[in-house]
């Protein structure tokens, strides 16, 4: 198992409010966390940094090979939520801050993904790619209700509005999924600074054509070439 991560400010923003971390547990299971902050430059950067570092700390401290990953991830994200929410109440400059989160781990032929917000995880396995997270966003709700088509959603003015975020409320509802992860699979996690520019077909071809270790840098380069309108973060777990 290997992990590769990279984050970039993009071409239009004055600060980077994304944050990501990854690593390996002692038994070789890989983990990664991607957060995309919101709430102004200071608030967004603080939220993503505090959330990501807190989650990583809890994962590494409490990981046990025999314990369910879902419980570990939910505990780590809940502790991060409490910390970010508490800081937003203590400091007026940070009021209302929050962040998306994708927390993932892979090993033993399985990958587990927990998320809130519109940062995404894609599973690439046996030549085929699929999105394994579902955006918690206004646009996704409009698509689900039939008020927007996926094509119309690409240009919807409120496409960045999310319906769940870590740190904005005392409790956070997350979604969890577990998927087969055979040898040679990849898990791609990204903020919307990348996914806003990429179709599933494009990503599938891109992952097929490039080595896993090159993907974060090349995908960030691609997003910047398309406009780089937001911060861009990419994490890859290679099985």
Can you give the pLDDT at residue 40? 79
CATH number assigned to the domain with residue range 2-133+163-238, chosen from the 4 options 3.40.630.30, 3.30.310.50, 3.40.1160.10, 3.60.40.10: 3.60.40.10
Measure the CA–CA gap between 45 and 64, rounded to whole angstroms.
30
Half-sphere exposure of 222 (CA within 13 A, CB side): 18
pLDDT value, residue 142? 83
Give the model's pLDDT for residue 199: 92
DSSP string, 77-112: HHHHHHHHHHHHHH-GGGTT-EE-EEEEEEETTEEE
Tell me, what's the pLDDT at 144? 82
Would you say the C-alpha torsion 37, 232, 181, 133 has a positive or negative sign? positive
pLDDT at position 95: 94
Per-residue pLDDT of the chain (239 residues; tens, 9 = 90+): 999 999 999 999 999 999 999 999 999 999 999 999 998 778 999 999 999 999 999 999 999 998 999 999 999 999 999 999 999 999 999 999 999 999 999 999 999 999 999 999 999 999 999 999 999 988 888 878 888 877 777 767 767 789 999 999 999 999 999 999 999 999 999 999 999 999 999 999 999 999 999 999 999 999 999 999 999 999 999 99
Query: How many angstroms separate the CA atoms of 37 and 96, rounded?
Result: 11
Q: What was the pLDDT predicted at 161?
A: 87
Residue 148 has what pLDDT? 80
Q: What is the pLDDT of residue 230?
A: 95
pLDDT of residue 149: 77
């Amino acid at each position: 198992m290997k992990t590769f991560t990279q984050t970039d400010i993009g071409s239009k923003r004055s600060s980077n409010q994304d944050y990501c971390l990854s690593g390996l547990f002692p038994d070789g299971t890989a983990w990664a966390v991607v957060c995309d902050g919101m709430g102004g430059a200071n608030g967004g950067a603080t939220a993503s940094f505090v959330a990501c570092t807190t989650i990583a700390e809890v994962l590494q401290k409490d990981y046990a090979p025999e314990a369910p990953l879902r419980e570990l991830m939910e505990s780590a994200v809940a502790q991060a939520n409490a910390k970010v929410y508490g800081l937003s109440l203590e400091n007026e400059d940070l009021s209302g801050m929050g962040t998306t989160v994708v927390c993932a781990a892979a090993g033993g032929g399985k990958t587990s993904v927990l998320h809130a917000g519109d940062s995404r995880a894609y599973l690439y396995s046996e030549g085929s790619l699929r999105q394994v997270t579902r955006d918690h966003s206004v646009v996704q709700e409009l698509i689900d209700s039939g008020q927007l088509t996926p094509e119309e959603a690409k240009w919807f003015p409120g496409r960045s509005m999310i319906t769940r975020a870590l740190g904005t409320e005392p409790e956070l509802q997350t979604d969890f999924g577990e998927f087969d992860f055979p040898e040679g699979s990849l898990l791609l996690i990204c903020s919307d600074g990348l996914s806003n520019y990429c179709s599933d077909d494009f990503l599938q071809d891109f992952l097929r054509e490039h080595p896993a270790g090159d993907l974060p840098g090349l995908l960030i380069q691609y997003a910047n070439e398309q406009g780089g309108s937001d911060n861009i973060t990419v994490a890859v777990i290679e099985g």
